[in-house]
Chains A and B, each alone.
Chain A
Amino acid sequence: MAEHRLTFPASEEDIRKLRAGDLVTVDGHIVGIRDRTQIRIFDQGHEPPMDLAGAFLLHTAPNVRKRDDGGYDPLCIGTTTSARMVRFTEPLGRDYGVRAICGKGGLPDEAIEPMRAHGMVYFAIVGGAAALETTQIEEIEAVYWEELMPECLWLFRVKDFGPLWVGIDSHGNSLFHDVNEEANKRLEKILAGL
């Protein structure tokens, strides 16, 4: 298991270096996105109002306070369950050049092939550890689609964001697939002993 530090937006070359199980810390810019945001892009045909090439997408919907100047201060920002949004993996890579999707709980196996084909990774974060995550977010730099609050498109500047584990790499490996396979083997034995 290797440890890496990466700055986003990132290149395909950066992403191809990562292997499932590696530990990663991230700096730079990351994009907050959630169910409704992606439904708007892919089911309702709205082009995202920002460039997602090389982007790191975080599955989130933050607690924020609106300032008088129209900007937002972060209050508590954490990460939601990714599996609900798995069907957007392929078009995010193919159509927009997204390089990383970060969330908690893993993505199902149907994400493995798009990530291999398009040079993407899935990062697993510690779900629920939002107080800590908030301290790693330096600023909310932009917010688009405010009418979807809190499921807007958010641009965050981050420092020392993590720890993140490479849950799915761009070479066809998934930590979640492996854990699940092992757990099912163990389950079979447990059930046989009941």
Chain B
Amino acid sequence: MSTVETDIQQAVEDAAAHLYVWALKDIPQDLRDALADASERETSVPGQRVLQTILKNVQVAERENNLVCQDTGIAVYYCKVGEHFPLHPARIYQALYDGTMRATLDHPLRSNTVHTLTRENTGPNVGYRVPIVHWDFVPDWDGLDVKCVPKGSGSENMSFLKMCVPADGVKGIKQFVLESIVGAGGKPCPPGIVGVGIGGSADYALHLAKEAIARPVGTRNEDPLVAQLEEELTGLLNETGIGPMGLGGDVTVLMCHIEHADTHMTLNPVAVNYQCWAARRATAHIDADGSTDFDREA
């Protein structure tokens, strides 16, 4: 490997180490606004108290330079790699792996990663196929965007897939999302973001649902039909009365986000991935020379 490549790999590693800790401590403004708005709207007494406690917690985290939530999650990264970015994705992966490990050991952060059968902790929040990295490739560009989404398990455990059939239609999609969220109750730390993936294949629908939770709160799908479904489901989900932390109330979800893909004529997959209220994400824009801008709002 050339010196230039080494420097850029180091820049990506540094970015990952910073992003992981930063995401855990400093939640984005759109989320802060959505939580404040939820606190205004909520009318149930326990629901109001829950939301006030959440807002206070965000302030305490800032004051004490502490993590918002103790669950340091499983490290998930979304990479957009420019065609001309001078570091191969194999090396980018290694940099993300090393950065995650370094952040965990230096801070130190709780390590959550275990062998899936023995349940033995692997130590520094990395392991076999962890961190989890999703890739997009962008033609005619020499940059790299890395978004870190530490995903807590309380909400990740509330993930659901149903292979609806075409005859179930859009109604089947709505029904499955509503049933999933009522079934999840207080477990995923509501009010959060309901990520929905529709179309594609079984695995891709789940992938899209996860992509949906990583969007800034309240952004809308570019397809007006899908955006309309996001609006409708957000409204219906908030009629269920589950409320903040499942203690009953008006605000069950901050927002429903949907990502979609075209699908097979006989498929109608729908996947739900829940994101708790502590919807942590942080992004780095890295140039071809390794210079890095950090962006909390992307």
A residues sitting closer than 8 Å to B (CB atoms) are: 1, 21, 23, 36, 60-65, 75-81, 83-84, 104-106, 124, 126-135, 149-150, 163, 165, 167, 175-176, 178-180, 182-184, 186-187, 190-191, 194
Contacts and interface: CB of A to CB of B under 8 A. Distances in A.
Q: Is the interface of A mostly helix, strand, loop or mixed?
A: mixed
30 contacts: A62-B70, A63-B107, A75-B66, A75-B67, A76-B66, A76-B70, A81-B157, A84-B157, A104-B186, A105-B246, A106-B186, A124-B246, A127-B69, A128-B152, A128-B189, A128-B276, A130-B66, A130-B69, A131-B68, A132-B57, A134-B64, A134-B66, A176-B185, A176-B186, A179-B185, A179-B248, A183-B185, A186-B241, A187-B178, A187-B182
A71 to B, nearest CB: 15
A79 B54 CA distance: 13
Contacts of B53: 126, 129, 132, 163
A147 to B, nearest CB: 10
Given A63-B67, A76-B66, A105-B154, A183 B182 contact: yes
A126 B278 CA distance: 12
Q: Is the interface of B mostly helix, strand, loop or mixed?
A: loop
Interface string B145-187: 0000000111001000000000000010011001100100111
A128 B57 contact: yes
Contacts of A63: 67, 70, 72, 107-110
A96 B199 CA distance: 50
A105 B186 contact: yes
A81 B247 contact: no
Given A105-B187, A106-B246, A190 B61 contact: no
Given A75-B66, A131-B60, A191 B175 contact: yes
Nearest to A82: B187
Nearest to B249: A179
Nearest to A175: B247
Contact of B240 (A64, A75, A81, A183): A183
Contacts of A167: 247
Nearest to B69: A128
A132 B56 contact: yes
Given A63-B108, A167-B247, A179-B247, 16 more contacts: A78-B69, A81-B154, A81-B157, A104-B187, A104-B245, A105-B186, A126-B50, A127-B189, A128-B69, A130-B71, A131-B69, A163-B49, A176-B185, A176-B246, A187-B179, A194-B174
Contacts of A81: 153-154, 157, 187-188
Contacts of A80: 71, 153-154
